[in-house]
Chains A and B, each alone.
Chain A
Amino acid sequence: MQQPTVMSASARSLRWLASMRLTQVLLGMLALATLLSYLARGIDPITLGVPLALLVANLVAAVITNAAFRRQPALLMFHLALVAVVSLLGLGQLTSVNGRFELTEGVAYDGTLLGGTRGYLSRQLMDASFVHEGFTIEYAAGMRRGRTRNPVKWIDDRGVERHDAIGDQKPLSINGYRFYTTANKGFAPLLDWSGEGAAPVRGAVHLPSYPLHEHEQLRDWQPAGLSVPIRIALVLEGPIIDRDQASVLSLPARHTIVVQAGGVRAELRPGDTAVLPGGTLRYVGLRTWMGYRVTYDMTSIWLLAACLVAIAALLWHYVAKFRGRPW
């Protein structure tokens, strides 16, 4: 005899969960969470995730209980597409990779990230590698950055070497990873260090981003086994980018590097060697480095598809509704 009461209570709960009043409250909560997160200088996925999850529950309950959805298939399709969008956004948060790294010209990318975010369920090892082969970046008068062209090469799935030029809105796509050039780039002296009694090492010292830190082109380098760092400074013979007219940023034709360690100072051109306390330094030559952003999100294409379905369904719904009752 008690079963009808239990059923009635669950039906009442479902109806409450499906109510439009709750929808309005949750939409307000989502707006408030967005605004507060924005004012707090950072959108937190959990703060937004709670009202979004409740909205999905509200919507699913409404689809089950509200006859309006059965009468209006386009409206139903639109709201189901919204559920798909929110679900895919959640899945994307769990599985996506969004990282950054710097890569020296001529060096194969090894999957190491300097920073970024990874979802809890994301692939931990990045099975994508490529080599960057230098860049040219156009600048308009006033140092305003223009087109970036970054030639790259990689080995495809069939073992064939492939070449392309990426930059701006053209990323490199390998195994679902998308690599984007950024405004962060500069020069990297390539150095061979032969320490006393140690195996020779080669290193590329990424100098500060150029032209952002045009006048601070120096950095310390401390090869393993050396007790004091070597200070490396790049000296350009004339500006690369003309502030008053259009220019192209690429490797400078003429330059030297100044190295300092333990009171010894030397000016080196490519191929030169300096004897420093603890070993010998050979300047191989100047390379470029590029800062990349890498993203991996297996949900993005499905997200776009769900958005397109939502738009088509919404248009269908409103056109049918308004045609049925002309103003």
Chain B
Amino acid sequence: MVSSRTLELLLVTGATGALAVAMCIAAVGARSTIVLLLILVGVALQTIGLAARWSALGYGPFTTMYEVLASSVWSLALIFAAAYTALPKIRPTATLVLPFIVLLAGWALSTDPEPGHLPPTFSTPLLYVHSIFGKLYLGFLMLAVGVAGVIPARRTVLANRFVEMPGDDDLTELSYRFAAFAFIFDTVMLIVGAVWAQDAWGRYWAWDPLETWAFLSWLALAFGLHLKIWMRPSPGIWTALVTLVFVIAFLTFFGVPFVSDSPHKGAF
């Protein structure tokens, strides 16, 4: 008899495998429908794995590094699958985006999957709204970087993967649009988080490490969007800017919990 924990890990490992195969097929430039199918298989397996964990523990994937990474793999793969389906012109970006998702999935599998503890202040619907908008923010920022990343990648050995993609200016514009929506999602995430913090800890903002880095990430994105309108930077500079914002956001999501005692001061 397979325990629910083993089943969950098998499913999450299977999801990582499906995404890794999709990455390899995308890298050799094979049929995009197979890539999409494999991404969807990965998302489905990850969904069942996370649902099994949720059902066994009684709470969602919000507390440990493993849970945050595994749920992020799920959301990023789902958002990329949606973009892949809705915008066929950007499908070659799978060559750049899927390795990132697979690395994240590998990182998740290397962390301790032991259950954490859901603090009492996490028993609120605002947790779900805050998390959903956080994941949309990171997902749209990933799409912005993925699309913009094609611009420098065209000047490398990967050039032949992107010959059918639109020109650099069009890619910059699309990347800007993804970044603009990422900014909206980021702002909603911060506002919902502030409302939650007011109820949970009696303050809407306390400059704890995660809040400080989230604000820096928001400022960096605001800076980039402003610069895009005002200076009309070259595609290369835009790529560098949006990548920098993504790095700050990535560190905020997955780095700060490592360097501070808890994601939020007073959370536990």
Contact = CB atoms under 8 A, between A and B. Distances in A.
Contacts of B223: 24, 27-28, 31
A38 B198 contact: no
A42 to B, nearest CB: 8
A255 interface: no
Interface in B195-248: 195-196, 198-204, 207, 209, 212, 215-216, 219-220, 222-223, 226-227, 229-230
A180 to B, nearest CB: 4
B184 A311 contact: yes
Interface stretch (A120-128, A145-153, A232-240): A145-153
A224 to B, nearest CB: 34
A290 B219 CA distance: 39
Interface string A10-34: 0000000000110110011011001
A14 to B, nearest CB: 18
A43 B184 contact: no
Interface string B50-80: 0000000000000000000000000000000
A293 B202 CA distance: 7
B188 A327 contact: no
Nearest to A45: B207
B219 A146 contact: no
Contact of B202 (A24, A178, A183): A178
Nearest to A142: B117
Interface in B179-205: 180-181, 183-184, 187-188, 191, 194-196, 198-204
Contact of A311 (B121, B191, B199, B209): B191
A144 B117 contact: yes
Interface size class of A (residues with CB under 8 A): 35 or more
Interface residues of B, number: 42
Interface in A281-323: 293-295, 300, 303-304, 307-308, 310-311, 314-315, 318, 322
B191 A304 contact: yes
A310 B183 CA distance: 12
A110 interface: no
B120 A148 contact: yes
B216 A35 contact: yes
Interface in B77-131: 117, 119-121, 123-124
B202 A168 contact: no
Nearest to A96: B203
A2 interface: no
Interface of A: 20-21, 23-24, 27-28, 30-31, 34-35, 37-38, 42-43, 98, 138, 140, 142, 144-148, 167-171, 178, 180, 183, 293-295, 300, 303-304, 307-308, 310-311, 314-315, 318, 322, 327
Interface of B: 117, 119-121, 123-124, 170, 173-174, 177, 180-181, 183-184, 187-188, 191, 194-196, 198-204, 207, 209, 212, 215-216, 219-220, 222-223, 226-227, 229-230, 266, 268
